[in-house]
Structure 1
């Protein structure tokens, strides 16, 4: 099944759709300091960066756990580092804004089920485990 992301331009109210790859199953999105959007593609194990003004995909990044990793939550910190969890592997992946390097962090609990994460002003990543009912933090 094809999925699309609906983009609305606030100054005109015009709406458009950006077609996503077959089987992508998008879950969450986050805005970056540069105005781009980051979207997790649960069905393909990828993360995409979108330019909403140009209505196009800028990058598509395969995450370490692959197609079955189930990327779900995503957030971006103040300097543009992108954080995405792979819900099936109890990991969080941090993509460095400067060099694009991916760093995988194994969570201390099993069956966490992160659906939402945020980064605070001190750079700590906070997440809620919807499956295990625990609040967690990564530095």
Structure 2
């Protein structure tokens, strides 16, 4: 069953979504300079970032219920607590992807600097340049090997950065595949190849797996592991959400409505899947029964 929740003013643009263990949902409103927090059963609480051009993009949930948010429009990362108090850190690099590392630090991609950033709890920022030509690092995730993995959209590669900061680049077979979304499930790393209509899966140390989608023009954007070995993927150009099992077989495709522009996806309590639609809504897909 699909339900829709309008979030923000018309045109605010829900972009990323994250859900904590208590069922609290967070979403960025990329065109409004806001972040919304939605308690279970409650209306959205809007948190203004003080700059309508901040372009809040991606989210990382903290264990205490707070979130970290990248602001690509004014080169900052914000920390928003459950009670609405906020801290903001200048990083000066065009931050986009963000994730908490196993070391407790905040790791992020710095698109404008072609680097991987690391923000420590005391507010210090360190950048490590990605080797090679400009790769445009996009999203980032913890991997099952204790390192952080990220996509390099412009050169068709995955990157790996260890906690000591060393970076290695792993080219994909199709240099034009344009990987964007990436997420780990504790055993494998899933990623979306937006330029190739393909989803990839990698267990570090094993052979790469790549799965062609039925619609190669669907433009897969973000991935969300399902907790059972499979993965959900948003299909931006097709206005749809698809599910792949652990073998890469597409088991379901859900139409989200023409022009809906699905971007971020996240797994919620009870197996629900939430999708942020830039057209103005959060969609929740709940399993039958």
TM-score by length of 1: 0.84
Structure-2 separation of matches of 1:101 and 1:25? 21
User: Are 1:77 and 2:226 an aligned pair?
Assistant: yes
CA gap 1:42/1:100 in 2 versus in 1, 3 angstroms: closer
Deviation, 1:86, is 1.5
How much does 1:57 deviate? 5.0
| Secondary structure, aligned partner of 1:122 | helix
Q: 1:4: which partner in 2? A: 157
TM-score, normalised to structure 2's length?
0.43
Q: Deviations over 1:6-29 (max 9, x none)?
A: 20123x543200102221111111
In structure 1, what is the Cα distance between the partners aligned to 2:229 and 2:273? 13
The residue number in structure 2 matching 1:102 is 250
Residue number in structure 1 paired with 2:166: 14
Question: CA contact under 8 A between 2:157 and 2:175: conserved in structure 1?
Answer: no
Quote the offset at 1:77 in angstroms: 1.8
4+ residue runs over 3 A deviation: none
Structure 2 residue 231 is matched with structure 1 residue 59: no
- Structure 2 residue runs of 5 or longer lacking an equivalent are 1-153
Unaligned runs of 5+ in 1: none
CA contact (8 A) 2:240 2:257 kept: no
Distance across 1 between alignment mates of 2:197 and 2:207: 16
Question: Could you tell me which residue of structure 1 aligns to residue 276 of structure 2?
Answer: 128
Measured at CA, do residues 136 and 33 of structure 1 come closer, stay the same or move farther in structure 2, by a change above 3 Å? same
Q: Which residue of 1 aligns with 2:182?
A: 29
Distance 1:8 1:59, change over 3 A: same
Match of 1:23, SS?
Answer: coil
What's the offset of the Cα at 1:126? 0.3
Quick one: structure 1 residues 77 and 106, their matched pair in 2 at CA, closer, same or farther if it must change by over 3 Å? Answer: closer
User: Shift of the alpha carbon at 1:37?
Assistant: 1.0
Q: Indicate conservation of the 8 Å contact 1:70/1:87, yes or no.
A: yes
How many positions carry a matched residue from both structures? 132
Structure 1 residue 95 displacement after superposition: 1.1
The alpha-carbon deviation at position 100 of structure 1 amounts to 4.1
Is the radius of gyration larger for structure 1 or structure 2? 2
